[in-house]
Homo-oligomer: A and B are copies of this chain.
Amino acid sequence: MSPHEIWTLLTAVREQAPLIHNITNFVVMNNTANALLAIGASPAMIHATDEVEDFVAVSQALVINIGTLYSEQVAACKLAAAQAKAVGVPWVLDPVGVGATPYRRTVASALLRMGPAVIRGNGSEILTLLSSPRLEQGVSAGEGRGVDSLHGSEAALDGARRLAQDRGAVVAVTGAVDYVTDGERVAEIHNGHPLMARVTGLGCSATAVIGAFLAVESDAFIATVTALAVFGVAGEVAAGWAAGPGSLQVALLDVLYTLDEPTLQAKLRVAV
């Protein structure tokens, strides 16, 4: 994948402004909506069981994030995922903190069976997802620590490849290096910056940005690599401007909005 291909897809998002339906957690709703707006997409955060099916049907992609679960939202996630399958809208699963409690494992297991096009998590989250059917019984192999990972992304790469094969999905493991695989192809993205881990929910924003690219690119592997590359470059540039995690969060939105082709070309470190 050349920098020019990545730039072309970013331009497509900016021109088409795809409508992205998010059912996400309360911690990151504002930043996720702003990241999608900054990149050129049109976000909507809609989670009532009374309306998610109607809204999925008019969206170009769906993003489901289990960060702050509760019973009505879980019901909404299932309705939305089923509708996405029915109407052919691609959807992304972010299994935040899936190893933290049996409840999360049960919910994630149910969603996993509903056919996400892409799954994005940190090393521990991906390894936890891999361990079904034990997952379905509330037991898991790769537990994290709360919502943080105890496993580097590299340690989860083999697991990610197997998960992709098992589920027929693209799997992204993010960390110091981001890996994306569809079970055969593997891409490595060496962009990003360590300070990004000190801002809450940037992984959630990255997942939402994957949704934006899925809306303009039917090859989910290419869409995911592009999203993580753009997000990583933007984070890296923003970290260069920032005095700490507060200003990084702000600068990231500015950079996603202003990112130009020369900067992208100069910074990209992606290998397939």
Q: Residues of A with Cβ closer than 8 Å to B?
A: 19, 21, 25-31, 33-34, 37-38, 42-51, 54-55, 58-59, 67-72, 97, 100-104, 145-148, 198-201, 242-247, 249-258
Contacts and interface: CB of A to CB of B under 8 A. Distances in A.
Query: In the assembly, how many copies of this chain are there?
Result: 3
A250 B200 CA distance: 13
B146 A19 contact: yes
Given A38-B245, A244-B38, A54 B102 contact: yes
B201 A33 contact: yes
A74 to B, nearest CB: 8
Contacts of A102: 51, 54
B199 A37 contact: yes
10 contacts: A26-B26, A28-B30, A30-B31, A44-B97, A47-B70, A48-B68, A48-B69, A55-B146, A243-B251, A244-B257
Nearest to A22: B27
Contacts of A59: 146
Chain B CB count within 10 A is highest, among A54, A201, A250, for A250
A49 to B, nearest CB: 8
Contacts of A242: 254
